Structure 1
Amino acid sequence: MTGETPIPTSWVGPIRLSGDVVGEQSVPLATYESPLWPSVGRGARVSRLVEDGIRVSVVDERMTRSTLFTAPDAATAVAAARAITARIDELAAVVSARSRHAQLIDIDTEVVGHLLFVRFALRTGDASGHNMVTLAAEGLMAAILANHPELEYGSISGNFCSDKKATAVNGILGRGRSVIAEILIPAAIVEDQLRSTAARIVALNTRKNLVGSTIAGALRSSNAHYANMLLAIYLATGQDAANIVEGSQGITYAEERDGDLLFSCTLPNLIVGTVGNGKDLPVVEDALQRLGCREDREPGANARRLAAIVAATVLCGELSLLAAQTNQGELMQSHLLLERRTEAGA
């Protein structure tokens, strides 16, 4: 390391949580976009005014690596694909022999002409798992090539994973932690704290996030700005920031219930971990400790806690921005006011 790039960081909240994580938790946001702090803070304040706060559900967790083989022809590739998926238990043993934490849980294949793509999905404990799955894939490729001399090595990664790219496969088959965050906000709180109504927020979400994203050609993505919150908390907690590419693919859903607002954010591709590269920096270690992600828990539990907190943070920022955009002029006025205040205090 030859130097450091300082990024302004603020702890925002606390956010009230229920479901798979219970309690109130402040979060660190590292960003040059200073208005993000009060915006997420407004969503956090709303969560504290609701008895259950933001309910978080961790749906699944897995990290993937897709390998590429070549065969003499399509028929050979198809036959090999069927044989490989049938041997998942044997291949799982190959992974277990190379790692104490990696666990093979699924295999998906695609054949294109004479090319065979094999997508391995693994549990990786508290690590995000990039290196762990690549190491596992090397052993799996060696085992497959030994059993299938008709195949040849193509690549350790065939882009069917898919890492740091906006694709459909991650949302369909899963990659990283899949989390849903939701909150039911009484009408009075929507009006007092968000200066809006459930009906207006629901309408805007449909017109902007669903219709607008569709005509833009968005790929499994209907949200206002997940990437803003993801990047800020990824940088503060030592994550690979490039993973916001797939992490920001998610869907915001809003529904009016007797005047109240049901609001949710579904994030199927959160790539986060609490151990591994980037986690040894003192500022990151401090952040993970303050987030309660350094406790003595079963493997994977600390990373699941972090993923749940990240999803709740995304909801806070998404809710606040959409509410602001229901009022003409509010968004720009807020940015100008907050950025000028920051510059004046610098």
Structure 2
Amino acid sequence: MTSTSDPSPRIPVPRDRDNDYSDAAAAARRDFLRQRTGQALPHVGHYSLPPASLPGNIELFTGVAQVPIGVAGPLRINGEHAQGDFYVPMATTEGTLVASYNRGMRLIAECGGVRTTVVEQHMQRSPVFFFNDARESRDFGHWVEDNLDGVRAAAQSTTRFGKLMDVMQFAVGNLRYLRFNYHTGDAAGQNMAGKATLAACEWIRDTHPAHPRFMLSGNIDTDKKHSQLNTLLTRGRRVIAEARFTDEALRRIMNVSAKDLFHARQVSMTGAFMAGSASNGAHAANGLTALFIATGQDVANVSESHASLVYTQLLDNGDYYWSVTLPSLIIATYGGGTGLATQRECLELLGCYGAGKADKFAEICAAAVLAGETSLSSAVIAGDWVSSHDKMGRNRP
């Protein structure tokens, strides 16, 4: 029998129970890390935002991660909510990214701008209720339909802005999955939807004659995970960006023809289908991530938001119709990280901070994605993809 010594005691990161959001508390944590690891953090500890502004955004605040911000544009948008020329802040450490999006924005401007449309907006929470058998589950579903007014009242009692639009139902064995769909205004709405759905489920449990057990998430809302269900039914905002590019402009700016682009689209569509990709486009995640970091979005939502449906046409006159549909774009212009100093500045640069601006920001996001699609897709065909990274994306000899 092998004996083992007791493990060394756990030494937690220090915190100040009276005032943990202060320069002194952050400095104490950096000093603790220096003593424990030998690594000083002078850059992490260099910041301009007041720590007192951070409750609700982070715990055990120690410093900041400084991500470079570049600006691409102007991005010309003919939207329902975003109209005009926009200079788009992009936070990234990937060389060539901002330059590539900037090139796509030039093409868009010279061809009259990008047309953007917000189609719908939902945020979900999907609880599951437990029963003895499938018949009880089926009858419960009818009861929910008959008592939807009570369910809606319970859910909306928790929020000023969230509106319960409908409840979808899915039966599996003796389980009943419910998909609560909310309109959440200018907030991304995950927490709002969770709180409202909990209240609704508790009302259902207390009011239904069987008082059924439930679990708040049955995982078919696929929070921060891509799913085909959300591609079809929308999670966040469904927004479309579309433009028509002349063959002349494509040849002059991108060094490709509309005909070559359309041929390459058939090849890449086949590859995406074969791979089971969440997107049949080039790189929606690149632009969205850079925008999300700059503007204080929950960056993990890129896992859902990057799903994209690219549809193109080679027009009879030789020009090229190009569209991108983002079916699960989850963004906010109010709450969360949007109010922090740097992030608020970037949203204000776009005229998108605060109430009533989320649809405008969604249109800007979709338009930026289309700009990036045009540039990268063209670079692959024209042979500029590798050479541009060699030229602009290397910081080591």
- TM-score (norm: length of structure 1): 0.93
SS class of match (1:98) = coil
Alignment equivalent of 2:374, drawn from 303, 309, 319: 319
C-alpha distance in 1 between matches for 2:392 and 2:213 = 55
Shift of 1:85: 2.9
* Structure 2 equivalent of residue 168 of structure 1: 228
* Structure 2 equivalent of residue 229 of structure 1: 287
Contact 1:201 1:254 in 2 (8 A): no
Greater strand percent: which structure?
1
C-alpha distance in 1 between matches for 2:213 and 2:84 = 50
Matches within 5 A, 1:58-69: 58-69=118-129
Letter matched to residue 330 of structure 1 = D
* Structure 2 equivalent of residue 142 of structure 1: 202
- Aligned pair 1:253/2:316, yes or no? no
* Structure 1 equivalent of residue 257 of structure 2: 197
C-alpha distance in 2 between matches for 1:57 and 1:64 = 21
Deviates more, 1:151-160 or 1:169-178: 151-160
Shift of 1:330: 1.6
- Aligned pair 1:24/2:82, yes or no? no
Letter matched to residue 324 of structure 2 = C
Matched pairs, number: 335
C-alpha distance in 2 between matches for 1:324 and 1:86 = 56
Shift of 1:4: 1.0
Shift of 1:86: 3.4
Give per-residue Cα distances to partners, 1:298-321, cap 9 Å, x unaligned.
Answer: x5x311111110000100011100
Give per-residue Cα distances to partners, 1:25-70, cap 9 Å, x unaligned.
Answer: 111111111211010000111121122x000000001111101111
* Structure 2 equivalent of residue 55 of structure 1: 115
C-alpha distance in 2 between matches for 1:85 and 1:35 = 53
SS class of match (1:326) = helix
* Structure 2 equivalent of residue 185 of structure 1: 245
Q: Which has the higher contact order (CA 8 A, sep 6+)?
A: 1
Contact 2:201 2:214 in 1 (8 A): no
Q: Which structure 1 residue ranges, 5 or more long, are not aligned?
A: none
C-alpha distance in 2 between matches for 1:222 and 1:139 = 39
Q: Which structure 2 residue ranges, 5 or more long, are not aligned?
A: 1-60
RMSD over aligned CA atoms reads 1.5
Shift of 1:148: 2.1
* Structure 2 equivalent of residue 217 of structure 1: 276
C-alpha distance in 2 between matches for 1:249 and 1:154 = 30
Shift of 1:251: 1.0
- Aligned pair 1:293/2:361, yes or no? no
C-alpha distance in 2 between matches for 1:34 and 1:176 = 30
Contact 1:85 1:108 in 2 (8 A): no
Give per-residue Cα distances to partners, 1:132-165, cap 9 Å, x unaligned.
Answer: 0001011110111112242533321111112111
Structure with the greater alpha carbon radius of gyration = 2
* Structure 1 equivalent of residue 329 of structure 2: 270
Contact 1:64 1:162 in 2 (8 A): no
Alignment equivalent of 2:67, drawn from 7, 10, 27: 7
C-alpha distance in 1 between matches for 2:308 and 2:148 = 30
C-alpha distance in 1 between matches for 2:273 and 2:314 = 22
Letter matched to residue 168 of structure 1 = Q
Letter matched to residue 106 of structure 1 = D
Shift of 1:116: 1.2
- Aligned pair 1:334/2:388, yes or no? yes
Shift of 1:343: 6.2
Aligned-residue identity in percent? 35
SS class of match (2:393) = helix
C-alpha distance in 1 between matches for 2:393 and 2:108 = 25
- TM-score (norm: length of structure 2): 0.82
Shift of 1:280: 2.3
C-alpha distance in 2 between matches for 1:135 and 1:43 = 41
C-alpha distance in 1 between matches for 2:213 and 2:376 = 48
C-alpha distance in 2 between matches for 1:291 and 1:229 = 15
Contact 1:61 1:175 in 2 (8 A): yes
C-alpha distance in 1 between matches for 2:319 and 2:381 = 16
* Structure 2 equivalent of residue 113 of structure 1: 173
Letter matched to residue 380 of structure 2 = Q
Letter matched to residue 222 of structure 1 = N
SS class of match (2:157) = helix
Give per-residue Cα distances to partners, 1:275-329, cap 9 Å, x unaligned.
Answer: 111122100110111111136xxx5x311111110000100011100011112x3
SS class of match (1:5) = coil
Letter matched to residue 357 of structure 2 = N
Give per-residue Cα distances to partners, 1:155-202, cap 9 Å, x unaligned.
Answer: 211111121112111122211010000110111101101110111111
- Aligned pair 1:310/2:394, yes or no? no
Contact 2:308 2:327 in 1 (8 A): yes
SS class of match (2:302) = helix
Letter matched to residue 334 of structure 2 = V
